[in-house]
A = this chain, B = another copy of it.
Amino acid sequence: MADTALPAPGRQRVLDAAAERLVQQGYAATTLRQLAADAGIKAGSVYHHFASKEELFIAVFNRGIEVMVEAFDSVEVADPLERLGAHVRAHLGALFEHGSYTAAHVTAFFTAPPEVRAEVVPQRDEYEHRWNDLLADVFPDLPAGRRPLTRLLLFGSMNTTIEWFHLSGSLTLDDLAAIITSQFIDGIHASHLIRSAR
């Protein structure tokens, strides 16, 4: 494992800048000149690290999935329902607590050109597969054919939190994860009892 201490290399600074710009501006509006300026280099120097704008953003999107996968795989909880809650918390953690890569992926992936998306699909599939397996494990009664749809609805709630949730607010990420998990498992009637029940 490389010693990535103190002064981040140019390539890394460009990637970090790209992730943040993606979240705020989307794919097309983010220019290599901006990224270079953010990273403290000139536009032409970006091409020493990446062959094209597309290759650069493929790296960002893939890193965004890596962060999600690492968060997912770090969960070790025995009880099925508790494990589900831990994975929801881990997914939200990837979105808000481990840099901008996952947030960039979730917000900008669908606005990226088809060639870029195609290079990222395999890694996306891998993450989705993990969740399908988790659902199969936690909800044995859920038909296999319904797992993708169920996952998509849960992802929809989790991923759109980046449009409105802020770590600086009064609602903590633990609270949010607990509410989403409860809402997902038992519906609205149960989810709003969470805070008072503790």
Contacts and interface: CB of A to CB of B under 8 A. Distances in A.
> How many copies of this chain sit in the oligomeric assembly?
2
A183 to B, nearest CB: 6
A189 B84 CA distance: 14
Interface in A134-167: 139, 141-143, 146, 149-150, 152-161, 163-164
A185 interface: yes
A123 interface: no
A149 B155 CA distance: 16
Contacts of A28: 25-29
B185 A188 contact: yes
Contacts of A150: 183, 188, 191-192
Contacts of A142: 188, 192
Contacts of A161: 152, 156
A84 to B, nearest CB: 10
A59 B150 CA distance: 35
Contacts of A132: none
Interface of A: 25-29, 107-108, 110-111, 139, 141-143, 146, 149-150, 152-161, 163-164, 171, 179-180, 183-192
